[in-house]
Homo-oligomer: A and B are copies of this chain.
């Protein structure tokens, strides 16, 4: 399988042209627009090889070539040149993110920014609770048998939940509970909380036992098990660009997938290695509904740690180098923002 340099150059040219024009690209157009230094006929031969190897294909016999998922993959892995952000883009990022007052605010601004820059659907995961540390736990008595538990994480996330106590608990006891819970849990990673919470129940004085027991149940339930992850989404209108040519005519499956938090988490939440950008192209995607889409995602967080993921989703025919650059840049800025916190 000789994929010499020129064949690779041809593939790169095909991808770039197709992404730009959205139309199958033929041999003649190719030599005109790129300095390949050979004749159309030669390019045709190369194309035949590329097709045989599965990197490109013909929509119909008398049409130009279009990259396959495999072609995009090769392009992303070996052929794309890094595309530096324009000063305007750089400025847009800075301007957009200053003045955020809130974690909510940061996340919302980020997701809108990403959608606007890439002109794709943007997804941002809130800092994962599992990766956060407890900064403070507040117990607010609502009535004698009701307690509002508020957990503040070091990433700025705040979760709250109402607790129904089995029996009335006087204010002093609440103070005790608050002290105990904070002593034990503050500073610990949420994912490692369960044994600590367990110990808390066992060690607590008899008169606090019942309250502490229900409290612990709720803590575990809310903070560790149940929908601990949140997601923000923006730019769905961008799916309609490219007039139904992408996504083989129906946005249905895409929109459906975007409504499932679980799916989105799978897409951008799994990004482990920092500094790396993950690119999923078409079929590589495990979610059936998204077989016609590509995802560019990365992790973000203060400094080198990663507390969540963010990324964009669009047609396989997307500007990979550009999107990768933007996703990276935005992730870096958000990380810095969180570090200042």
Contact = CB atoms under 8 A, between A and B. Distances in A.
A256 interface: yes
Interface string A117-143: 000000000000000000110101010
Contacts of A102: 161-162
Contacts of A161: 101-102
Contact of A259 (B236, B252, B259): B236
Interface residues of A, number: 31
A152 interface: yes
Interface string A74-114: 00000000000000000000000000011000000000000
Interface string A237-250: 10110001000001
A99 B143 CA distance: 21
Given A138-B138, A237-B259, A240-B250, A158 B152 contact: no
A150 B158 contact: yes
A58 interface: no
Given A255-B237, A259-B236, A150 B138 contact: yes
B136 A142 contact: yes
Majority DSSP secondary structure for residues of A touching B: mixed
How many copies are assembled?
2
A277 interface: no
A148 interface: yes
Contact of A152 (B140, B152, B244): B140
Interface in A201-239: 222, 226, 234-237, 239
A29 interface: no
A152 B148 CA distance: 9
Contacts of A251: 237, 240, 251
B140 A138 contact: yes
A160 B158 contact: yes
Interface in A132-191: 135-136, 138, 140, 142, 148, 150, 152, 156, 158, 160-162
A152 B146 CA distance: 13
10 contacts: A101-B226, A102-B161, A150-B150, A150-B158, A150-B160, A235-B259, A236-B236, A236-B258, A237-B255, A240-B252
